[in-house]
Structure formats: C-alpha cells, structure tokens
C-alpha cells in the first residue's frame, strides 16, 4: 500500500525527469489514493497540495554548480543562471503540454473524466517541484548552496520559493542562521503559506485546460511564463546580493 512518503518521493522525482504521460499517470495514481484519504475539504482548501509539496521537497534532485556548468558549456555566473532558468521553464512547459494533452484525450471519454483532476493536481505539484529545484540550483550557481539538515534545507527552499527570492546568504553562514529560518518557517506556517498559492495555481491550470481550449498549448505557455518569472526574480535577488557581498 502506497504511503505519503511514496507520493512525496514520486513528486520530488518528477523534477528530475523529462515529462511524459506514463510517468505523470503513474504518480497520479498514487495521488488519487492520497486524495481520497485526505478528503474534499483538504483538497478544496489546498491543504493536501501544500502537505504533498512539503513532503516532496527532500526528494528533489538538486545539481551542484560543477554539474550545471558541465551541462551548459562551461558557463558561469549570470549567464549560467539564465540558462538554468530557461531550462526549468522548458521543463515546466513540457509538463503543461503533457497534462493538457492528457486532459484533452480524457474529455473525449466521459467515463474517465473523474481522473482528470488527479493528473492536473500532480502537474501543479511537479511544476512547483521543478521551481523549487530551480531556486536551489540558482543558489548553487551563485556560490550560496543551501546547507544544513534535510529539514533545514527543505524549509529554507520552500520559504524562498513562496516569497520569490533566494535564501539569504547571511542565514546560510551565520551561526544558527538556518535554525532561525526554520524556527520562523515551521511546517505549520509554511503549510499555511503554500495553501493559497498552490490552490490558486491549480485553479488557473484547470481553467486554462477548459473544454474547447487548446489544453496542451495553454498549459505549456502558462507554466513557462510562471517559471521564467520566478527564476528571473530569484536570479536578480541573488545576483544583487553577490554584488553587495563583493563590495564589502
């Protein structure tokens, strides 16, 4: 029987693979079981989405700076960061296209309509996992890797994603810095922070894939823009901080 950790591991793993129907459908099966257990209220308020996203963060594969440089022709600094943002945007666009195509096919088969929310909610979670991976990898690019225990790193990345910024460099290096971040951003607080954001993201995705719309195209473009916007904000934040630190 699948556990919540199985779902978290599966969602986190989506951030490191090329999007395809088979993988998304497989994770959606785990999600639907979890959704039934969680209940309608948890789904409607975004609580299930938030809890699942938090469970996924420790399982997101984050590449270090050396790996990223090797994958992008030896680029460094802002140029590498921009390529990492573009790559993440392409990945989330791919997720949107796959989920949109799946929804389009299922709209033609009424008996399977009930399955559509599962795929689309998993797509939302997968996109968020890719974006959190992006935040962590931009930290690597700028020489500010997120350190600490798995729990500390997860909490710091989630808060940075929710606030569309990087993890502060001082929080990473001063004694007790991450402990302070985690203290301010307990799981309960971060769950509340994520609930509204994830519920709104899921609703936007579902409205974009409404009947008579080009679901694959709409989903791809919506995700691409959202991920690019987030990446550019984090990039500017970290680049600015690096410049400030260099002048000290």
Helices (H), the chain: 4-13, 21-38, 40-45, 47-56, 65-71, 77-107, 116-141, 150-162, 169-173, 177-184, 187-208, 215-247
52 vs 124: CA distance, rounded Å: 11
53 vs 129: CA distance, rounded Å: 7
Q: Which residue has the tokens 């392409």?
A: 90
- pLDDT of 103 reads 63
| Domain locations along the chain | 4-247
Question: Which residues of the chain are modeled with pLDDT < 50?
Answer: 107-116, 170-179, 181, 185, 211-214
65 vs 175: CA distance, rounded Å: 24
Q: Which two tokens stand for residue 154?
A: 């997860």
- pLDDT of 100 reads 74
- pLDDT of 130 reads 97
190 vs 50: CA distance, rounded Å: 8
- pLDDT of 174 reads 45
Conformational region of residue 60, where left means phi above 0, alpha means psi within -120 to 50, and beta covers everything else: beta
3-state secondary structure of 14: helix
DSSP string for residues in 164-221? TSPPPHHHHHSTTHHHHHHHHT-HHHHHHHHHHHHHHHHHHHHHHT-TTS-HHHHHHH
pLDDT per position as a tens digit, 125-167? 999 999 999 999 999 999 999 988 888 899 999 999 999 999 8
Count other Cβ atoms within 10 Å, centred on residue 40: 10
């Amino acid at each position: 029987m699948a556990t919540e950790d199985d779902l978290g591991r599966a969602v986190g793993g989506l951030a490191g693979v090329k999007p395809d129907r088979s993988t998304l459908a497989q994770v959606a099966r785990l999600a639907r079981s979890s959704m039934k257990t969680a209940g309608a209220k948890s789904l409607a308020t975004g609580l299930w989405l938030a809890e699942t996203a938090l469970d996924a963060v420790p399982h997101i594969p984050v590449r270090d700076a050396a790996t990223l440089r090797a994958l992008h022709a030896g680029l460094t600094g802002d140029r590498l960061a921009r390529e990492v943002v573009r790559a993440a945007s392409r990945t989330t666009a791919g997720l949107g296209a796959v989920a949109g195509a799946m929804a389009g096919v299922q709209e033609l088969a009424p008996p399977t309509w009930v399955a559509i929310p599962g795929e689309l909610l998993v797509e939302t979670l997968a996109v968020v996992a890719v974006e959190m991976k992006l935040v962590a990898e931009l930290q690597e690019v700028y020489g500010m890797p997120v350190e600490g225990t798995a729990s500390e790193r997860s909490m710091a990345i989630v808060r940075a994603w929710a606030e569309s910024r990087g993890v502060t460099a001082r929080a990473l290096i001063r004694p007790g810095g991450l402990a302070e971040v985690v203290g301010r951003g307990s799981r309960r607080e971060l769950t509340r922070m994520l609930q509204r954001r994830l519920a709104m993201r899921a609703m936007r995705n579902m409205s974009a894939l409404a009947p008579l719309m080009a679901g694959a195209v709409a989903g791809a473009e919506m995700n691409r823009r959202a991920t690019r916007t987030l990446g550019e904000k984090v990039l500017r934040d970290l680049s600015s901080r690096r410049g400030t630190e260099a002048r000290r």
